């Protein structure tokens, strides 16, 4: 049996290809499906089956395009009520592919239609070898229970407890666990960075599986859930019908500096995807910086929304193409265009550049008392509660989509996150919202702790 995990770091997303006797199965494919076609060609197998463990909310799946290009059949849980051609899978469904057997377990909880796929390599053993758990069971965590319009988080959390204890944990301890996401995904809270585990390891180490009662499990899973980005429910609906092929998207239009200036004057969005240091040194006034690294697309979807039509600003046309691809992966497809020639062209057109001051944590420490400087922490609540700068205000970056923090616009604001990525985004949003005295703290809270500066720990007080 051939088995391969494909890990897309920018979305913390894992997809899989399995094959036996020349016939292949793809599970939870990403939007750009070329990698599976290349892997199939390399391993001399034909993709005949595509499984979706659930309607993904944090990315747009490539199941429809992959099926169109290969003739493969798509399988998804019956509760998904999918509108594309598919096989509606119920509990106990089995698919034999060569000497491999796939058995579906209906495991509602993260979503009503969630499936886990038990894989048996009959060439080696009649006992299950692995389980592809989708977003039901992660390494160190379980799926969040608030992604359904039909059921409440309390109802879903109860279903998830039953699915885990009555089905998934009935598997033997040596069965390998391969989830659909890893550390960094918003589909859970405490995922580990490893890519594979076992049922036995998770039984012993996963906090959610240590909770003895169903009542306590529901209570813990529905408390302090991370903010659910608005686009999550939109992506699930896109995946219910199936997204169009990436090749069908129209090409991006080049936009001249004068045109971009007019777009911004009318309230349009310019999305600068350059590294934060370059943005700080000089950027188009009013542009938003989300660097083309880390969780670029997730933050763009969460803060701008899928209906946004940003003009992209990048270092090169290659970076523009990469940004466009990453945005399409989460369903933000209708970018207005890109700034032809980038910042250089803007500058050569005689248009002004704005800058963003930065300061070290040592300089911040020196200015904390008596200078009137405000400190704004934009990390998430668990990070804040684990430790923060005394006297700082707290307004997580996730909340910026709703409103900027309620702080004095006239007093200088030093913004920090964990390492600097989110604080640069926050600074650009504050500048766009009309704040003028904004400075970014280089290295964020990691640098603050690294310099052994004092840390407070208490419940959060929002800005």
The predicted structure's pLDDT at residue 225: 83
Tokens, residue 295:
């969780």
Strand 311-313: give its sheet, edge to edge.
Answer: 254-255, 337-339, 311-313, 270-272, 288-289
What pLDDT digit, counting tens, does each position of 164-209 carry?
999 999 999 999 999 999 988 888 777 998 999 999 999 999 999 9
pTM, two decimal places: 0.93
What pLDDT digit, counting tens, does each position of 261-309 carry?
999 999 999 999 999 999 999 999 999 999 999 899 999 999 999 999 9
> What value does the mean pLDDT of the chain take?
95
What pLDDT digit, counting tens, does each position of 33-61 carry?
999 999 999 999 999 999 999 999 999 99
**Domains of the chain listed by start with CATH number:** 2-241 (3.60.15.10), 251-348 (3.40.250.10), 358-450 (3.40.250.10)
What pLDDT digit, counting tens, does each position of 61-77 carry?
999 999 999 999 999 99
pLDDT above 70 (res 137): yes
Secondary structure element (H or E) that encloses residue 413, with its range: strand 413-416
CA distances from 289 to 268, 272, 391 (A): 14, 5, 27
Band of residue 463 on the pLDDT scale cut at 50, 70, 90: low
Band of residue 382 on the pLDDT scale cut at 50, 70, 90: confident
The predicted structure's pLDDT at residue 17: 98
Contact assessment for residue 110 and residue 160, using Cβ atoms and an 8 Å cutoff: yes
Q: What is the mean pLDDT of residues 380-406?
A: 92
Contact assessment for residue 58 and residue 232, using Cβ atoms and an 8 Å cutoff: yes
Residue 26 backbone dihedrals phi, psi, to 5 degrees: -115, 135
The predicted structure's pLDDT at residue 460: 45
């Amino acid at each position: 049996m051939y088995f391969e995990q494909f890990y897309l770091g920018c979305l913390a997303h894992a997809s899989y290809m399995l094959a036996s006797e020349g016939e292949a199965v793809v599970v939870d494919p990403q939007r750009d499906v070329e990698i599976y076609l290349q892997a199939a060609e390399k391993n001399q197998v034909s993709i005949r089956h595509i499984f979706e463990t659930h309607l993904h909310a944090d990315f747009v799946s490539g199941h429809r395009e992959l099926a169109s290009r290969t003739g493969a059949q798509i399988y998804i849980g019956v509760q998904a009520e999918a509108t594309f051609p598919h096989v509606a899978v119920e509990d106990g469904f089995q698919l034999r592919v060569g000497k491999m057997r796939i058995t579906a377990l209906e495991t509602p909880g993260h979503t009503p239609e969630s499936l886990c796929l038990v894989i048996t390599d009959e060439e080696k053993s009649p006992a299950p070898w692995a389980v592809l758990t989708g977003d039901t069971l992660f390494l160190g965590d379980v799926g969040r229970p608030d992604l359904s319009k039909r059921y409440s988080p309390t109802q879903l959390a109860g279903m998830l407890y039953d699915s885990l204890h009555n089905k998934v944990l009935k598997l033997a301890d040596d069965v390998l666990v391969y989830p659909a996401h890893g550390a960094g995904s918003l589909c859970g809270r405490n995922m580990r960075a490893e890519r594979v585990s076992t049922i036995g390891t998770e039984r012993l180490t996963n906090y959610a599986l240590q909770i003895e009662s169903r009542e306590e499990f529901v209570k813990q899973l529905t408390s302090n859930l991370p903010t659910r980005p608005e686009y999550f429910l939109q992506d699930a609906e896109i995946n219910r019908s199936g997204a169009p092929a990436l090749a069908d998207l129209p090409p991006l239009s080049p936009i001249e500096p004068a045109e971009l200036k007019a777009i911004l004057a009318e309230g349009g969005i310019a999305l600068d995807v350059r590294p934060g240091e370059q943005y700080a040194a000089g950027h188009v006034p009013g542009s938003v910086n989300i660097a083309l690294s880390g969780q670029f697309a997730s933050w763009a979807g969460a803060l701008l929304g899928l209906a946004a039509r940003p003009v992209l600003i990048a270092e090169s046309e290659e970076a523009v193409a990469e940004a466009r691809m990453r945005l399409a992966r989460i369903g933000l497809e209708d970018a207005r265009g890109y700034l032809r020639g980038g910042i250089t062209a803007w500058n050569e057109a005689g248009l002004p550049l704005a800058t963003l001051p930065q300061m070290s944590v040592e300089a911040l420490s020196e200015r904390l008392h008596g200078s009137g400087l405000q400190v704004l922490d934009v990390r998430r609540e668990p990070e804040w509660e684990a430790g923060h700068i005394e006297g700082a205000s707290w307004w997580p970056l996730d909340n910026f989509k709703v409103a900027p923090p309620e702080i004095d616009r006239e007093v200088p604001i030093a913004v920090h996150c964990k390492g600097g990525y989110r604080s640069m985004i926050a600074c650009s949003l504050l500048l766009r919202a009309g704040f003028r005295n904004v400075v970014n703290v280089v290295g964020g809270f990691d640098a603050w702790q690294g310099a052994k500066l004092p840390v407070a720990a208490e419940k959060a007080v929002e800005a």
